[in-house]
A and B are shown apart, each in its own frame.
Chain A
């Protein structure tokens, strides 16, 4: 325990089991971005997965929408300490997108329109753990929240859920992405409070 802050009582001690350590609940949907919001037209939008062999699997907006779409209800946790419970999304599972992808690499670098990157182990994208999401709360995903489409990996801190997703590149090693080079943790498990390295 740290030093006592004289006169500080804090809020309710009610423990919410859905809340990872050090997080507080918010009803808002705060925005954290490192730069201007890219303006991405779905007519030009493209998503690709590139493997170590040089093979590129590509989807345009219509092709993505033609894939099986899943409803996702989940909690999200931002490294800046807010958590939002029971959010609802629609998107395509990464399992679907990886179905035809052959790779022996274990790591992925996610690339976004605007140049953002973030690194994720492949196993964190598969088995029903991650999606390319394009609807939030029944509406098309707003640009400032990552629209037209963002990665959704709710079991990791939300900076891993790259906004304005453009593609995934398979990698043999776990190289740091944008925030990971700027002080955030390489993996980012909210239950282990892996905020900074």
Chain B
């Protein structure tokens, strides 16, 4: 039965071993978040949208593990994470504030076989991200570009204000085939017609691929954001089975 399952679209190998990753670089992304590139010998690559368990060990042996979405994709031992600091978190403050180039952390994965996009998919793709929910969507955007996929991609990115964007420069110069719409909830740059506010069904009707072309839809962000967006998509006529969601809370 295991063999049979491995031939489905589940992850191609069993999750098990912890790999030691070395931090290659870090980059500040937002006031509370940053990206971290790790070299993880033996990782063996991951699909766009998957996540990894990250394990920290204190000198007395105490360990803490959390899952983080991976911002990169492909058959490589390079793994890029992007982490937002939760003030009461146990692991994220360390990853955002303390981890330095050359430091080691342990990773296990890749995890998750559902919230993934592969270049074999040819249908239009609508990505909808809230805040750091952009991270797994970024992996899809990069995989789309790297594979020269002809699938049309659109991203709706909802964030507080322009300074809160992860991967801003990359998203401001998208590859052909990717269309990006920025939605601000608190502070909107001068000159934009849309007033600051949370994402609405009107935003989806105006900027997202319509249900008539049956896009694959990926929604990631805080629970309230995902709940609002997913309900609005279904109300607009999207097939619930084509709307994949991933929600996160504090860690």
Hey, which bits of chain A sit against chain B, CB under 8 A?
Answer: 1-11, 13, 22, 24, 26, 28, 30-38, 80-82, 114-115, 144, 176, 178-179, 181-183, 196-197
Contact = CB atoms under 8 A, between A and B. Distances in A.
B247 interface: yes
Interface in B1-30: 2, 5, 8, 10-11, 14-16, 18, 20
Label chain B's interface by main secondary structure: mixed
A183 B103 contact: no
B231 A28 contact: no
A32 B112 CA distance: 13
A197 to B, nearest CB: 6
Contacts of B106: 2-3
Contacts of A115: 240-241
Nearest to B62: A10
B111 interface: yes
Interface string B200-218: 0000000000000000000
Given A10-B63, A183-B112, 16 more contacts: A1-B61, A2-B63, A3-B106, A5-B99, A11-B90, A30-B247, A34-B244, A35-B240, A35-B244, A36-B240, A36-B245, A181-B8, A181-B113, A183-B10, A196-B14, A196-B16
Contacts of B60: 13
Interface stretch (B64-72, B144-152, B173-181): B64-72
B117 to A, nearest CB: 14
B185 interface: no
A35 B15 contact: no
7 contacts: A1-B57, A10-B64, A30-B223, A81-B65, A178-B114, A181-B8, A197-B15
A35 B90 contact: no
Contacts of B250: 28
Given A31-B223, A144-B223, A182-B113, A7 B94 contact: yes
A10 B92 CA distance: 11
B249 A28 contact: yes
A6 B227 CA distance: 38
Interface residues of B, number: 52
B20 A36 contact: no
Contact of B114 (A7, A182, A196): A182
A37 B94 contact: no
Interface in B42-61: 55-61
A196 B113 CA distance: 11
A19 B223 CA distance: 24
Contacts of A182: 10, 112-114
Contacts of B243: 35-36
Contacts of A114: 240
A10 B64 CA distance: 7
A10 B247 contact: no
B32 interface: no
Contacts of B63: 1-2, 10
B249 A181 contact: no
Contacts of B99: 5
Contacts of B112: 182-183
Contacts of A30: 223, 247, 249
Contact of B249 (A6, A8, A34, A82): A82
Given A2-B106, A24-B90, A37 B227 contact: yes
B188 interface: no
Interface string B213-229: 00000000001000100
A81 B18 contact: no
Contact of B67 (A7, A33, A80): A80
Contact of B245 (A3, A13, A35, A176): A35
Contacts of A36: 230-231, 233-234, 240, 243, 245
